[in-house]
């Protein structure tokens, strides 16, 4: 091989190694922040790079309450900057509820990167313990078609809502409806499907448990791809 050919081959290999992976869709990463000490307030962050614009974003949500959002609208903007901006804006609420003092437990995680796991079913133990002391829960999600409204009417015939049911509670069969959509809030944009993505748990000083089901909302994204954003469904098993 000539020196010129060797150099050209080396450059090509370097470009392939350095090239970013092709991304189809915009699935936000999830980071739980924590609970208030009584378990009535929960905060979490979702963040990523917008498909299409390439802008980094971060959104910190509080239950109950409105989300705090940040986006770096610059070419080659840095994701850490968007996350720092969101945390700076959300700091007064994070501090007021002392969420960092009570991070809770990520009791189950069911990401889209695990292709062999179920979208609509999740079984988990609320807290780590030896087998005789574990309290097992199971969730089932059923998608339902609803009439598209607003901008979604021009894009889809119908949109998807969901019904979330607890089918096992502390090891015993039950049928408790945790959420049953009758309409779709605009914040979900044009949803096309859902996945039970995980559960975060907390127990307060009186032994009262709080569970938060993290649901990944799949919606119509850039040029027909899928966006994935997170919503939280809280419930308190002992109440």
Tens-digit pLDDT profile for residues 181-205: 999 998 999 999 999 999 999 999 8
Asked whether 66 and 60 are in contact (CB, 8 A), the reply is no
Classified as helix, coil or strand, 147 is strand
CA atoms within 13 A of residue 203's CA, in its CB half-sphere: 9
Q: pLDDT for 143-167, tens place per residue?
A: 999 999 888 988 898 999 999 999 9
CA distance 207 to 112: 33
The answer as to whether 187 is a domain residue is yes
16 band by pLDDT with thresholds 50, 70 and 90 = very low
CA distance 86 to 47: 10
The answer as to whether 96 is a domain residue is yes
The answer as to whether 13 is a domain residue is no
Residue closest to 60 by CA, chosen among 26, 29, 37: 29
- Write the CA distances from 26 to 54, 152, 158, 223, integer angstroms: 10, 19, 21, 12
What are the DSSP E strand ranges found in 104-157? 105-109, 121-125, 136-147
Which two structure tokens, joined as six digits, stand for 112? 């889209």
The pLDDT value recorded for residue 2 is: 52
The answer as to whether 124 is a domain residue is yes
Question: Could you give the number of structural domains in the chain?
Answer: 1
The answer as to whether 14 is a domain residue is no
The answer as to whether 132 is a domain residue is yes
The pLDDT mean for the chain works out to 89
Residue closest to 34 by CA, chosen among 109, 103, 127, 94: 103
* 155: containing domain: 23-235
The answer as to whether 7 is a domain residue is no
The answer as to whether 2 is a domain residue is no
Q: pLDDT for 22-56, tens place per residue?
A: 456 799 999 999 999 999 999 999 999 988 788 99
């Amino acid at each position: 091989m000539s020196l010129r050919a060797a150099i050209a081959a080396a450059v090509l290999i370097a470009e392939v190694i350095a090239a970013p992976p092709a991304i189809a869709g915009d699935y936000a990463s999830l980071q739980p922040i924590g609970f208030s000490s009584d378990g009535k307030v929960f905060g979490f962050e979702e963040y990523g790079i917008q498909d299409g614009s390439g802008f980094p974003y971060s959104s910190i949500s509080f239950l109950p309450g409105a989300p705090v959002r940040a986006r770096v609208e610059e070419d080659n903007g840095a994701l850490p900057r968007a996350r720092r901006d969101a945390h700076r804006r959300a700091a007064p609420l994070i501090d007021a509820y002392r969420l960092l003092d009570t991070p809770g437990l990520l009791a189950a995680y069911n990401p889209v990167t695990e292709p062999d796991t179920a979208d609509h079913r999740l079984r988990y133990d609320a807290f780590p313990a030896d087998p005789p002391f574990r309290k097992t829960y199971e969730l089932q999600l059923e998608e339902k078609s609803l009439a598209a409204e607003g901008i979604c009417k021009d894009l889809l015939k119908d949109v998807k809502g969901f019904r979330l049911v607890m089918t096992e509670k502390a090891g015993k069969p039950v049928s408790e409806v945790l959420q049953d959509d009758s309409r779709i809030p605009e914040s979900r944009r044009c949803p096309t499907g859902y996945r039970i993505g995980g559960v975060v748990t907390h127990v307060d000083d009186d032994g009262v448990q709080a569970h938060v089901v993290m649901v990944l909302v799949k919606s119509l994204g850039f040029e027909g791809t899928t966006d994935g954003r997170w919503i939280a469904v809280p419930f308190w098993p002992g109440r």
